[in-house]
Every structure is written in C-alpha cells, then in structure tokens.
Amino acid sequence: MYTRRTPRSASGSGGLHRRTRNRAKTAAGLLATAALLVSACSSGSATTSAASAAAEAALVALPQATPAALSSYYGQKPAWRGCGVPGFECATLKAPLDYAEPSSGDIRLAVTRKKATGPGKRLGSLLVNPGGPGGSAIGYVQAYAGIGYPAEVRARYDMVAVDPRGVARSEPVECLDGPGMDRYTQTDATPDDGKETDGLVAAYRTFAEGCGADAPRLLRHVSTVEAARDMDIVRAVLGDEKLNFVGASYGTFLGATYAGLFPDRAGRLVLDGAMDPSLPARRLNLEQTAGFETAFRSFAKDCVRQADCPLGGKGTPPERVGQNLKAFFEKLDTRPVPTTDGDGRKLTESLATTGVIAAMYDEGSWEQLREALTSAMKENDGSGLLVLSDGYYERDADGAYSNLMFANAAVNCLDLPASFDTPDEVRGALPEFQKASPVFGEGLAWAALNCAYWPVHATGEPHRIEAKGAAPIVVVGTTRDPATPYRWAQALAGQLSSARLLTYEGDGHTAYGRGSSCIDRTINAYLLRGTPPTDGKRCS
C-alpha cells in the first residue's frame, strides 16, 4: 500500500505547500509482546474473520509509570549539535531494541529540532511524521515542515522529527544495491504465465533475503508499536509532559498507536489522511486499490477537458479513458519504450504503472502526467513517466535509492500477516481487485504478495484503537484520497474515543496545507489554542 506525502516546493511566505508524490506502502498492526490486545485475532489472509476479530480486539494502554528497566532511556540528556541545515540541530538518542528485554541491546535514533522562533509563549515540541512507513521525518521537517508550516505554528513550537527505527538516519534497513533495485522495480508485476509468475516470486524472494541478510535482529523490532514507544522516550527527553504531533498518512497510524498506548500523554494530535488499524492487510490493499481508481477517475474527467489529453477527447467517459491507459500498459508489457536514462533503462509496464500511481497523490501533478503520457504514447519517449516512477522510489540520478522501500516492507510485513501466501491465492482474488480498479487492480493484487516471502513472521494483528481518556484528537479525511480512502478516516474517528472528524471535500492525499484555508485555519486553531473542530466539520 502507498501512503506517503512529500513537499512539492518551497516558499518564503510561511504558508503550507502543496504535496506531490505522497507515496509509500502502509499497513496496520501491533507487537503483541509490547502491548496487549484483548480478545483473539485471526490471520490477515482471511479477510472476513480477521476483520471480525479486530472489531473486538483493542489496543490496551501501557501502565502510566515508567518501568525501572527503561528509566535510563527516559533520563537521557541529548547532546545537540549542528547538522548542516540552517536553524536545525541534531542529536542521537538510544532506545531498547526489544522493549520486552531492554537489556538485550540498544538502537540509535536520529532526532532533529528547530527551536520556536517566537513571538508568543512556547507551547512545547511538535513532532511531525510524513508517513510511509519508510519516509524520513528528519528530511521532511528540515526540507519542508520546519520552514513551511505556518509562521505562527513555528513561532510557538519547537519543530521536531525523529526517523523511526529502521528508517533513513535511524539504523536504516538495507536490502538491495542500486542495480539490484533497478532490476526489482522493472520486474513484470502482472504475470501472464507460470514463467513470469516464477520471475516475480524470485524477485520478492531476492528482496526479502537481502533485507534479512542485512539486519536479521533489527527486522524483528521495527513495528509501529515500537516506533510509538520510541516517540514517548523522545517526548520525555525533550521535557514535554504531553506529545504534540502531526502525522500524515501512515503517520496517522503511528500517532493513533501512541495515543492508544499513552492516552494520558497524548496532547494535540492531528492525524491527516487517516488509516483504519482494524483492517487486515488484504482488505487494506483492496480498499486502497479502489481509492486509486477513484482518484484516476477524477484525473480522467479532468484529462479529457484538456487539449493535450492522450487518453481521449472531450466527453470520453472515465471507463474508456481507463481502458485506453490499460491498453497502453499492456503494449509496454511486450514492447518497452525507450528513455533518455543514462543507465539505458526502458519504460516497462511496471515502471509506467508506478509513474501513473505517483501522480495520483496530488492533482497538481496531473499536467505533468498528461505530458509524460503524451511523450510515451505518441512520441515513443518514456522519460517523463520514468521520472515520476524514480521520484516514487526515491532513486537519484546516480542510480542510488533511499531506504524508503526497504523500511516500508520491513514495517508492513511485521505489522500484519501477509495479504496472500501463494500466487494461487492472488489469482483467486484478481476478479475482486480488478473490479475495485480495472486500471490498477491486477498489479496491486500481485504487489500484495511481497510479504509472503519475508524472513520474519508478522507479530501484529488487526485491532481497534480507542485511546480512552485521551484529549481531543483531530482526524482528517479527504473524500477522494487515493492512498487512504475517506472511509478509513471515518473508521478511525469512530474508534478513537475523543476523535473529532474533519473532512476535506476534494482530491489528493492528505488535506493540511493543500490549499483549503478552511482546513488550515481549523488545524492551526487546534494546534495553537487547543480548540478542536466540531465533530463532522467539512471543508472544501
């Protein structure tokens, strides 16, 4: 599943920037040894039974008193230093690798902050997380949030980010080198026969084996609940009584998990582009597939109104636009299109599909997508779609990849049992996925097979998060969000005992800072004055 957001551009106005390529896979889950679930949970492969169990299972808060075995972590004094980014300082903190056995070793967490600029009374620290899992919170705050959040918010809060364990600067999981990732991303993800299926399975196995060889112990301890417990250590070290937090996309699951574990320490929490932790992986993937179809239909309607739409003329129905795009993908399956890539890569079906999906996250990317499709379909140049795909995978011009996709799989595959265990199970589910999205359904169904070959068994299960006793929490949902369908925001708001649902009627992934003054004013009022919106408030 794909749920990250990143800044599109910078501005000196102090206003929020529109996001693009809000991408990455997500899942929900829980480490049973770190937090108890009441009632039983069943395998995520059985969608109905797991969803039923999750309706009863709920995350139980941890004891308010800090265990003696963790006191040294909570009492750390960070050694702040310059980190090459004006206005920011950085530090390294320690957390137990295994919260069940704190004496078994530590993990190092990278933290950065930019102190409140004033004027006005300081409100404490505001932690931010851009989602993923696998997105670098440090990169996000240094490149965007720490300079682009509203000036009045930055004046009152220290802007803080910690890369979750296994991500970016916090002991990153590594799986493949650049050439290996190039091969992986070009693997045919819609196999037509047994040979192509074997090739896809081999790619998933190679990826998983690489991750297992790199960090066999770490892979067992990168769950969302452990990352949430790390945030509580960061909160204490920063000297804050409560955690104030803005989480986007997967970051909403991280923030909700924190509230569930530490409801008495949950301060002002904004969960934007919310996830539903009660769903098993297969259901999450299926509903997100439908979300991408919803976003594509919005793109299709806009595309045919433009003179340069390569997928149909004025009045062409979205269904036909989708058929035209699907036909183009199928053509690429046998005849990849050349690009100007220095490494000689061609535009394959898998890379083109990724490029289109990347553009679904932000309607501001639709023009770029039209141009890229026109070049590929009419001029036999796939460079534009390759650029979109490379941005999604965080591949730089030198052919190196960030650890985004490595950490993404590591967290997803630990947090929930796999969507599918065998290729035959995927084939059996194809009609369901293709009904959800005629354009993307086949590829997204096969993509959900990756955790079947993971070297570490999942420790989490679907569950509800209620966070009884927490202060008001703002849950934000966008009605045509491709990556976190609006229904998920409704579901999470229905679970959290103190939630206030804020709705953005529009396109794109997440809502804060995407151009709605109503959304921005409402969230700013909550962060600055502690005034939550009325439940059910709607903005456009």
Among the listed residues 17, 221, 463, 509, the single catalytic one is 509
The string of DSSP codes covering 147-187 is HHS-HHHHHHEEEEEEPPTTSTTSS------HHHHHHHHTS
Q: Which value, to the nearest 10 degrees, does the dihedral of the CA atoms of residues 48, 421, 415, 69 take?
A: 120
Q: What angle do CA 130, 134, 139 make, to 5 degrees?
A: 55
- Would the CA dihedral through 413, 416, 419, 422 be positive or negative? positive
The string of DSSP codes covering 192-243 is -SHHHHHHHHHHHHHHHHHHHHH-TTGGGG--HHHHHHHHHHHHHHHT-SSE
Among the listed residues 182, 276, 481, 520, the single catalytic one is 481
* Residue 481 is a catalytic residue: yes
* Residue 221 is a catalytic residue: no
Characterize the bridge pairing of strands 473-480 and 157-162. unpaired
Which positions ≥6 away from 103 have C-beta within 8 Å?
69
On the 0-12 / 13-18 / 19+ scale of CB atoms within 10 A, 415 is: buried
- Helices and strands (H, E) in the chain, number of each type: 19, 14
Characterize the bridge pairing of strands 3-4 and 473-480. unpaired
Residue (of 234, 230, 208, 221) closest to 91 by Cα position: 234
Task: Provide the edge-to-edge strand list for the sheet that holds 473-480.
Answer: 81-82, 89-96, 106-114, 157-162, 124-129, 243-248, 266-272, 473-480, 499-507, 537-539
Q: Are 81 and 90 in contact (CB under 8 A)?
A: yes
Residue 391's φ and ψ, nearest 5 degrees, are -65, -40
Characterize the bridge pairing of strands 89-96 and 81-82. antiparallel
Q: Report the phi/psi class of residue 482: left, alpha or beta, with left for phi > 0 and alpha for psi in -120 to 50.
A: alpha
| Three-state secondary structure readout of 13-34 | CCCCCCEECCCCCCCCCCCCCC
Among the listed residues 249, 365, 498, 516, the single catalytic one is 249
Catalytic positions: 249, 481, 509
